[in-house]
């Protein structure tokens, strides 16, 4: 059974940093691209970033380019999202998902709140 478990969310001040993790199990992690998608309170889904299975290719939404860094450790079956220079508008539930376009499995999400 595929499982994705995010962690690392919380309250952070504007300008601060946070690292999210996503522990994956139930599939060959290194064979699949992985993505982060966020959802601000009461709003729709917004793609944030994706990374290829080997980690050599990364993709970012314009809204986070230069501030967020996606990475993965295939030896630990874990996906990461390092978020720097956080803004109020980054407040959202962050989901990790398996795949790049066809996101066939999603985690339960972790809430990031950026506020002073």
Partner 1 sequence: SYELTQPPSVSVSPGQTANITCSGDKLGDKYACWYQQKPGQSPVLVIYQDTKRPSGIPERFSGSNSGNTATLTISGTQAMDEADYYCQAWDSSTVVFGGGTKLTVL
Judged by CB under 8 A, which stretch of 23-31, 67-75, 84-92, 95-103 contacts partner 1? Answer: 95-103
x/- mask, partner 1, residues 2-41, rule CB under 8 A, reads: ---------------------------------x-x----
Judged by CB under 8 A, which stretch of 7-15, 20-28, 55-63, 67-75 contacts partner 1? Answer: 55-63
Question: What's the gap between Cα 33 and its chain centre?
Answer: 12
Nearer to partner 1, 57 or 87 (CB): 57
Q: Is 68 in the site for partner 1 (CB under 8 A)?
A: no
Measure Cα distances from 13 to 17, 18, 38, 103, 106 in Å. 8, 10, 18, 31, 27
Nearer to partner 1, 48 or 86 (CB): 48
d(CA 81, CA 94): 10
CB neighbour class for 71 (10 Å; exposed up to 12, middle 13-18, buried from 19): middle
d(CA 13, CA 29): 33
- Return residues touching partner 1 (CB under 8 A): 35, 37, 44-47, 50, 59, 61-62, 95, 100-104, 106-109
């Amino acid at each position: 059974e595929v499982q994705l478990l995010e962690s690392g969310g919380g309250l952070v001040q504007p300008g601060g940093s946070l690292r999210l993790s996503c522990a994956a199990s139930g599939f060959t992690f290194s064979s699949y691209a992985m993505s982060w998608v966020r959802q601000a309170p009461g709003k729709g889904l917004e793609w944030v970033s994706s990374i290829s299975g080997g980690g050599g290719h990364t993709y970012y939404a314009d809204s986070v380019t230069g501030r967020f860094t996606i990475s993965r450790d295939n030896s630990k079956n874990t996906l990461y999202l390092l978020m720097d220079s956080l803004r109020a508008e980054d407040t959202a539930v962050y989901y990790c998902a398996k795949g790049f376009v066809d996101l066939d499995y999603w985690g339960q999400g972790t809430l990031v709140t950026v506020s002073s």
